[in-house]
Amino acid sequence: MDILRFLTAGSVDDGKSTLIGRLLYDRRQIFSDQLELLRRQSKARDGSELDLALLTDGLRAERAQGITIDVAYKYFSTPKRKFIIADAPGHVQYTRNMVTAASTAQAVIFLIDARKGVIEQTRRHLYIAAMMGIRHFIFAINKMDLVGYSEAVYQSICLQCRQAVEGAQGPVPLLIPVAALPGDLVTGPSANMPWYHGPSILQALEELPVVQDIPPGETCFHVQYVNRPQSANLHDFRGYMGSLLSGEIIVGQQVQVFPSQQVARVKSIRMEGVARERTLGTGIYTIELEEELDITRGDYLLRSEESGEGNTEFTAQLCWFSEKAGRAGMKVKLQQNSMLTRAVITGILHSVNLDDYSHNAAPEQINLNDLVSVRIRTQQPMPRGEDSNTASLKQAILIDEVSNQTIAAVLID
Amino acid sequence: MNHLDTLEREAMHIMLEVAGQFAQPALLFSGGKDSIVLAHIASKLFRPSVIPFPLLHIDTGHNFPEALFFRDAYSAGLGARLIVRYVSDSIEKHGLSEPQGKFPSRNGLQSYTLLDAIEEFGFDACIGGARRDEEKARAKERIFSVRDEFGTWDPKNQRPELWNIYNGHIARGQNMRVFPISNWTELDVWHYIRREGIELPSIYFAHEREVIRLGNRWMATNRFIQPEAGDTVLRKKVRYRTVGDMTCTAAVESEATTLDAVIAEIQASTISERGETRIDDQISEAAMEDRKKNGYF
Ligand SMILES: Nc1nc2c(ncn2[C@@H]2O[C@H](COP(=O)(O)OP(=O)(O)O)[C@@H](O)[C@H]2O)c(=O)[nH]1
């Protein structure tokens, strides 16, 4: 059993909550006391028997407003897989929520109302999902019951979906006709759509391939914590604890510390206290070096021949999370993995218009939920991520120096 | 990769970020299964050294003796430093009033003691074992969750969490609550306990107790809960599915004396963990959310 993380995207009332509720309900992942509560809430709200959509509504403020405004996580499993659903609906905060949810997702389900087909919102969601590098796109063409379970409707929406995905440069999508409310093709087959021979939503989710192993290539280890117990039995122990992001490390090999460019030899490698000759795939290791160097949290250990001076200037795409507008010249903190550096936004190149993917050249400022391309200069050099397989070298966040808020997601070009 | 490996690694990454980003972290340890799993993961992670931060228990005075016994033995076994602070001291210090009634829960008072301990030791981060599957209000909790100096949580002002980058920046007086097993379900916890061979307090397994009926649940009698006229007092074989206070945790009728049997019973259960065991969550639908806002862990 492995784990698949996915998110759902759709505009209000396309049936996202109903679909998630249906997945959990059919998989019997709702307990009887929770069901009882749902029944009571459904009755109190609109007199309905059982509104599965209420299941994903978390907080009181949202319940009062009748909308969801943040990312909520839900869990269910089948004998094959454990699933983590990031549910990110909402109006104003939508881009921010979706970017957040997408950052940890391997797949996305786009909800389409079969009566409406692909709409403007869908294009926005597609752009974000593609930008965030999600590998698997699934379309749930929902409310098929309201179009008479018509194959012709399904086919014409499929065409729209394929074109829209192409426009957003996303991966080849899976297109599944469903009716979330009555439950057609959510977790099982549908007698109403004998013309469809593909998988149900659940089957598709169970069968998506997920890549979990370490990207091959250059050694890249980031130091998260320097462990110096200074206890009697470990008096001189100095273990660099962190995650191996790509490649491998072997005892005796040379590594170069980034950014200081000092060179050292690997003395020992431990995982959970067990010594080993070489690293085995991704994971958290404790590394000792022969030489005593000044290495701190945020440094990287790289294969010596390959590390360079790094970059202090680069362009990146930002998604802006803050109500406080961003401007050229703004000073921020930038965090990439565990590395923290001061940085300045030196220029705003363009913003992306999510409706037609066109660019607005050189906007004055960056507003909440804007996607923009910017130029950034950092105080400390960053490892070059351009031709690396290490996805996390391209990912960072911006932190406001005063409020400490996370104000932007950064995708380094 | 196996789902338990993925979850364990995520928890380890989060704990390493806490160790790296904070000067004075603490791990909240009660002797309940979720906090035992946290302590187990931390001890594995930092080997060959001991966990580089203390374990902190807020003792309500209503804890099960079995859990306290386990707490002491387990933390000693890990070689970790255990700090215990008492709700009774906070009651005295702040002139708080003792909860009354048949089930006098001190749950609401824990936050005072926690805040006092945070101040006393200067803790800047507290690692806790809360899970998002426990309750709807928890489903939106961040892994790194900022609390102000009153311990309050503002659900509207949470930081977006991207990839596996955790923003641990806080201002003076603020405090971070960190939940490394957010993405675990109850069954994940049990399966992990089985896989790792983790020991648990004896009350997680079926044993005989004197109980009184409370709706469709069983409350053990003890020095805080005395039967009243009209109560049926019975001896039953029960176990605990969660270990909270004696005053607000219900027992489950059970024959399960082994871990496999316990897991089988939980797998077959149609009632949620909290629904079956916590009598203090039932008061209102938004009970948990309100208590969280007020600094309940
Ligand atoms: N007829 C029909 N109605 C549906 C279907 N799926 C959802 N709905 C209804 O559409 C409305 C909006 O659904 P909801 O799940 O709340 O949408 P969300 O805003 O995307 O979460 C509700 O009244 C649902 O009952 C479906 O497959 N068929």
Q: How far apart are CA A79 and CA A2, in angstroms?
A: 10
Mutate to test the interface with B, among A39, A224, A407 (most CBs of B within 10 A): A224
pLDDT in tens, A208-222: 998 766 667 788 899
pLDDT in tens, B28-83: 999 999 999 999 999 999 999 999 999 999 998 888 899 999 999 999 999 999 99
Look at residue B15 in the predicted model and tell me its pLDDT. Answer: 98
Give the pLDDT band of residue A304 (cuts 50, 70, 90).
Answer: low
Q: How many CB atoms lie within 10 A of CB A278?
A: 12
Mutate to test the interface with A, among B14, B163, B283 (most CBs of A within 10 A): B163
pLDDT in tens, B216-259: 777 877 777 777 777 788 898 988 888 877 777 888 888 999 99
Look at residue A58 in the predicted model and tell me its pLDDT. Answer: 45
Percent of chain A with pLDDT over 90: 64
Q: Which residues, including other chains, have CB under 8 Å from residue B18's CB and lie 6 or more apart? A: B25, B53, B125, B127, B168, B176, B178
Burial class from Cβ neighbours inside 10 Å (0-12, 13-18, 19+) for residue A192 reads: middle
Domain at A3-207, CATH class = alpha beta
Inform me whether the pLDDT recorded for A47 exceeds 90: no
Burial class from Cβ neighbours inside 10 Å (0-12, 13-18, 19+) for residue B137 reads: buried
Domain A220-306: CATH superfamily, name plus number = Translation factors (2.40.30.10)
Look at residue A352 in the predicted model and tell me its pLDDT. Answer: 93
Between chains, do B16 and A99 touch, taking CB under 8 Å as contact?
no
pLDDT in tens, B142-179: 999 998 878 787 776 788 999 999 999 999 889 999 99
Closest CA to A401 of B18, B106, B169, B259: B169
Look at residue A49 in the predicted model and tell me its pLDDT. Answer: 63
Report yes or no on whether pTM surpasses 0.80: yes
Query: Which H or E element spans position B239?
Result: strand B233-239
Give the pLDDT band of residue A72 (cuts 50, 70, 90).
Answer: confident
- CATH number assigned to the domain with residue range B3-189+286-293, chosen from the 4 options 3.40.50.620, 3.40.50.150, 3.40.720.10, 3.10.20.600: 3.40.50.620
Give the pLDDT band of residue B212 (cuts 50, 70, 90).
Answer: confident
ipTM for the complex shown:
0.91
Which chain B residues are within 8 Å of A274, Cβ to Cβ? Answer: 47
Domain A311-412: CATH superfamily, name plus number = Translation factors (2.40.30.10)
Residue owning the nearest CA to atom 7 of ligand 1: A15
Pocket of ligand 1 contains residue A121 by CB under 6 Å: no
Sorted by where each begins, the domain ranges of chain B are 3-189+286-293, 201-281
